[in-house]
Structure formats: structure tokens, C-alpha cells
Amino acid sequence: MDFNLSEEQLMIQQAARDFAQNELLPEVIERDRDQKFPVEQVKKMGEMGLLGMMVDPKYGGAGMDSVSYVLAMEEIAKIDASAAVVMSVNNSLVCAGLEKFASEEQKVKYLTPLASGKVIGAFALSEPEAGSDATSQKTTAEDKGDYYLLNGIKNWITNGGTATYYIVIAQTDPEKKHKGINAFIVERGWEGFEIGTKEDKLGIRGSDTHSLIFNNVKIPKENRIGEDGFGFNFAMAVLNGGRIGIASQALGIAAGAYELALKYAKTRKAFKTEIINHQAIAFKLADMATQITAARMLCFKAACEKDAGKDISESGAMAKLYASQVAMDTTIEAVQIHGGYGYVKEYHVERLMRDAKITQIYEGTSEIQKIVISRSIAK
Ligand code: CAA
């Protein structure tokens, strides 16, 4: 692992930082308050290549490496964790899954507009009664010869209300358990496909999270991804990479809160001196800086392993497990350092604290990450 960032990586980091400051920061408080999706900002992120960062340019992507992705995600999430999850899902769950496993026809038709940011995608695995236990899903796709008939409900789907294309995981043969699951590309607007309720969330309120309802939706056979029965392994493989995205989002949330707390501690005075001169505050900042650096290293490690083509189930899970804990701890302390100001919206840290919590839940809870890690180290 090389700790020296290349000129190109530094340029991407700077471009994402400038974009976040200039385009995301101005109305981030209002979007959080009103649960407003950053429509224009996401469009610009697409134009900058941030929505298909690692995809081959021949399919509309930016052709960058995964370390660049971690760097850009961190900068976006520092300012707006909602925009960051839109970016993470489109890059890691949707584009990466299609680039690695879809047919050439599927790549041309679906990956190209998704990677170039012309449209965005969603990944529908979770259900009302199947979150962590992903094999227990109830959504069915019945093989009808030249099409599948899709029925069921998916829950908590990021980009659910704004996506154009959806990767939907469904049971095709319940008797075969996880080998009877398939992944399909479903288009918004197909008959019988209804966008359900929008969730009113604690955090990442600028992102849009919906249930999806499928009522006899006909999916053409050619929209199945991979061989029959590959859907569960597809979902697991895609989630391994997704966890690097969410780890980087968590890292950004933590780093954003830390930077605000550090700045505040250097200017706010109490007992005749800036509060950073009180060891009670200085030690909190020292812990934050150390933990954020460690979280960043875990993200870089997983990203480097991904680019080297290694199995990233363990490193991705470690990065997400640790970075999401750091995001939670750091944001709570950042609110504490800000005192009363930390509890009001205009100082941003209360929002970051609310945003942090979901990073311990989605794309595999912290408990699921420990299952993945412990199984890996026991092998
Ligand atoms: N990487 C690759 N393959 C994996 C894997 C991993 N991390 N974990 C399991 N698999 C494979 C196994 O090798 C096995 O394959 P074979 O039979 O072909 O060898 C198959 O999957 C079944 O494995 P298990 O028997 O271990 O399956 P399990 O039922 O015990 O479940 C689990 C394993 C790790 C708990 C899995 O169910 C899991 O990851 N659950 C969490 C699901 C999740 O992350 N949901 C998030 C929803 S998506 C989301 O949040 C998106 C959003 O909008 C932000």
C-alpha cells in the first residue's frame, strides 16, 4: 500500500472538496429540514464523473481507481452525507455490480447512462421481514418462459423515488434457498411497479428512501443478471464493494465533525482561554484525529485490495465496522465540544451526528460485519 497520493488522486480530492463547499454546503441545512433530494447537485456530480467513478470510460465511467473513490466520498460526506449515499449506491452497488456481472447488452443499455450520471440507480434487496437475513426474502420472480413475473415489496431503498433503473433481488425457487435467488434489472414505469412510501428518517434526510411495490411486473428474460441462481452471490459480492463506499461516507461524516470541532475549539473561549487549551477538550480532539486516521487507512486498504482484484469481504467489512463506529463516536463528541451551539442546526454537527447512525445499519449492520469478519478469520 502506497501512502503517497498521486497527482491525479489529489486533483480528484480537491475537485470533490471544492464542489462540496461551493455546491453542497449552501443549502444543506434546508435540504435536511425539508427532506429535499439534491437534484441539481447530483446532476452536477454526474457531469463531474462522480457517479460512475470506477467504471470503464467505454461504458460512460470515469475510469478511476478505488482510492480516488474513497477520497471523493470523504469530501462529499464531510459536507453532505445524503449526497454521499446517493453517490455510494450508484457507484458501488449499481454500476460496480453491472460492470462486473452484467451482459454486454445490459452494460450498453443500462450501465452507460448510469455511470455517466444521466440517470441514477437503486439496489433493492431488503424487505419488511428480511434485512440482515437476506436469504429469507419473500419477493418472488416466477419463471414464465420468456419473462419473469415479479411480486413483492422491498423496503428502505436508497434512491428509491428518484432512480430510473433498479437492481431487484428476488426468489425464483424458494426450495433452493440462496441458490434459488436471482438479480434483475427493472425499469421505472413498468406496469405493476409502484414507488411506495417515502421514509421520514432521523438522518441522511436529503437522500430519498422508499419502499417499492411489485405487482405482476413482467421482467424480460434478458434482464436477469448472470446465470440462473446467481442472485444471492451477486448481492454478496456487490455489497462487499458497497461497504467501502459506506465506510468512506462514515469517514467523511467523522472528518467533517472533527474539522468543525477543531475550528470551534480554537476560537471559543472559556475560563479565559480557547477551549482547545483545556485538556478535557484537547484529548477528545486527539482521540478523534487518531481514530479518523485509522478509519481512513482501513478504507484505503480495502480500496487497494479491490483494485488488486483481491477478496475484499474481510477488509471491506472491517473498514465499514470501524469507520461507522468512529463516525458515531466523533460526531457525539463534536456536539459535546460545541456545547449548546452543537445542539442547534446552524452549527452542522447535530446533523452529522444524526447522519452517522445509519452507517452502522445499512449495507449490513455492524453485527453483520462482525459475522463476515469472524467467518473470514476462522477460515
Ligand atoms: N462475499 C461473497 N460471498 C459471500 C459473502 C461475502 N461477504 N457472504 C456470503 N457469501 C456467499 C457464500 O460464500 C455462499 O455462497 P456459496 O453457497 O456459493 O458458497 C452464499 O453467499 C451463502 O452464504 P451463507 O450461507 O454464509 O449465507 P447466510 O444466509 O449465512 O448469510 C450474511 C450471510 C453474511 C449474513 C448475509 O446474509 C448478509 O450479508 N446479510 C446482510 C445483508 C445486507 O448487507 N443488507 C443490506 C441491504 S442493501 C442496502 O442497505 C442498500 C442501500 O440502499 C443503502
Q: 194 in helix, strand or coil?
A: strand
What pLDDT was estimated at residue 265? 98
Which residues contact residue 128 at a Cβ distance below 8 angstroms, ignoring those fewer than 6 apart? Answer: 153, 155, 211
Q: Is the CB of 92 under 6 A from ligand 1?
A: no
- Which CATH topology does 231-376 take? Butyryl-CoA Dehydrogenase, subunit A; domain 3 (1.20.140)
Mean pLDDT of 328-339: 98
Residues forming CATH 2.40.110.10 domain(s) in the chain:
120-229
Task: Tell me the pLDDT band of 1, cut-offs 50, 70 and 90.
Answer: low
What pLDDT was estimated at residue 131? 87
Choose among 360, 289, 348, 364: nearest CA to 324: 360
Q: Is the CB of 371 under 6 A from ligand 1?
A: yes
Q: Which CATH number fits domain 5-119: 1.25.40.10, 1.20.210.10, 1.10.540.10, 2.40.30.110?
A: 1.10.540.10
In tens, the pLDDT along 258-277 reads 999 999 999 999 999 999 99
258, 323 contact by CB (below 8 A): no
Grid cell of 266 as nine digits: 480554537
What pLDDT was estimated at residue 2? 65
Q: Distance (Å, rounded) from C-alpha 251 to C-alpha 115? A: 24
Over its C-alpha atoms, the chain yields an Rg (Å, rounded) of 21
363, 158 contact by CB (below 8 A): no
Choose among 226, 147, 232: nearest CA to 192: 147
What pLDDT was estimated at residue 3? 75
Which residues contact residue 277 at a Cβ distance below 8 angstroms, ignoring those fewer than 6 apart? Answer: none
Asked whether the CA dihedral 237, 238, 243, 244 is positive or negative, the reply is positive
Ligand 1 centre distance from Cα of residue 121 (Å): 21
Which residues contact residue 110 at a Cβ distance below 8 angstroms, ignoring those fewer than 6 apart? Answer: 98, 102, 121, 165, 185
CATH class name, domain 120-229: mainly beta
In tens, the pLDDT along 90-141 reads 999 999 999 999 999 999 999 999 999 999 999 999 999 888 988 888 999 9
Q: Is the CB of 363 under 6 A from ligand 1?
A: yes
| Residues assigned a catalytic role | 363
Q: Is the CB of 212 under 6 A from ligand 1?
A: no
207, 159 contact by CB (below 8 A): yes
Residues forming CATH 1.10.540.10 domain(s) in the chain:
5-119
In tens, the pLDDT along 12-59 reads 999 999 999 999 999 999 999 999 999 999 999 999 999 999 999 999
Q: Is the CB of 125 under 6 A from ligand 1?
A: yes
Task: Tell me the pLDDT band of 239, cut-offs 50, 70 and 90.
Answer: very high
The mean of the pLDDT values for the chain is: 97
Please state the atom number of ligand 1 nearest to the C-alpha of residue 93. Answer: 51
In tens, the pLDDT along 166-217 reads 999 999 999 998 999 999 999 999 999 999 999 999 999 999 999 999 999 9
Mutate to test the pocket of ligand 1, among 136, 157, 227, 233 (most ligand atoms within 8 A of CB): 233
Ligand 1 centre distance from Cα of residue 156 (Å): 18
Ligand 1 centre distance from Cα of residue 108 (Å): 28
pLDDT of 337 over the 80 cut: yes
Q: Distance (Å, rounded) from C-alpha 214 to C-alpha 312? A: 33
Q: Is the CB of 134 under 6 A from ligand 1?
A: yes
Residues forming CATH 1.20.140.10 domain(s) in the chain:
231-376
**Burial tier of 24 (Cβ tally within 10 Å: 0-12, 13-18, 19+):** buried
